[in-house]
Amino acid sequence: PSVARAEVVTVFAAASLTTAMAEIETGFEALTGHDLAVSLAGSSALARQIQQGAPADVFLSANPGWMDTLEIDGLIAQGTRRDLLRNTLVLIAHDAQHPPVEIVPDMDLAAMLGDDRLAMALVEAVPAGIYGKAALESLGQWEATAPRVAQSNNVRGALALVALGEAPYGIVYATDAAVEDAVSVIGTFPAETHPPIVYPMAGIAGHEGAAQSALLDYLQGAEARAAFARQGFAVIAD
């Protein structure tokens, strides 16, 4: 480790990566001697801050859309963008004894809901919500269920609603469902029902340098992969 060139490296990462980023921070600092600062917030807030000149070296978004925006603005360092992680979408229930449900076009989600609510993240804005809506649409379920959807401003909010039983069902990432004991996964949405759920990563223009490269490399390395995998993410191989 070349401690002589130690720098502060700042990564702006989607809030859903919190736990993994904590592990990565320790590992990266131990390995490189750089100091890693992790700013965790919603992807939209982070993207806007980068547009306004935030001192980010690397951006890890939960949403390709905001990465596209930055790329169009020319804020992304040439050739640094990669799709880093993949996630899956699951249907969860509050009831631990709930039998598995087959997620197919002839399921009747609206009937399952009755007067109750289906918890999702914002279906127009938050990636998990966008993907969930796309999946329900491709399954022909959206029109019937849309009036029963309760949208939270992030996946954790939707998860909390199901965990508390306020909503009997919810659509969240597999990674979130895995760590919440109060919900049970009753079905996984087939990959073809929604666009691929990817977490793109890129270096920020103007911050190119050894430290940025080191971090980008580390994020794609074995230690980081292991950390991400422990949280339930699928790591996209190069």
Partner 1 sequence: MQDWLSPAEWEAVRLSLRVALWATLFSLPLGLAVAYALARWRFPGREVLNVVVHLPLIMPPVVTGYLLLLAFGIKGPIGGFLDSTLGFAFAFRWTGAALAAGVMAFPFMVRAVRLSIEAVDPKLEQAAATLGASGAWVFLTVTLPLILPGIIAGTVLTFAKGMGEFGATITFVSNIPGQTQTIPLAIDLLLETPGGEARAARLAGLSILMAAAALAFSEWMARRVAARVGGR
Sites for partner 1 among residues 207-236 (CB under 8 A): none
Total residues contacting partner 1 (rule CB under 8 A)? 49
Sites for partner 1 among residues 78-107 (CB under 8 A): none
Segment contacting partner 1 by CB under 8 A, of 74-82, 102-110, 120-128, 221-229:
120-128
Q: Does 45 bind partner 1 (CB under 8 A)?
A: yes
Q: Which of 1, 5, 18, 104 binds partner 1 (CB under 8 A)?
A: 18
Lookup: tokens for 9: 């490296």
Helices 18-32 and 222-230, interaxial angle, to 10°? Answer: 160
Judged by CB, which is closer to partner 1: 103, or 159?
A: 159
Q: Does 57 bind partner 1 (CB under 8 A)?
A: no
Q: Does 206 bind partner 1 (CB under 8 A)?
A: no
Nearest to 174 by CA among 2, 16, 7: 16
Q: Does 125 bind partner 1 (CB under 8 A)?
A: yes
CB of 127 to partner 1, least distance (A): 10
Nearest to 237 by CA among 193, 189, 198: 198
Judged by CB, which is closer to partner 1: 165, or 196?
A: 165
Q: Which of 3, 52, 79, 192 binds partner 1 (CB under 8 A)?
A: 52
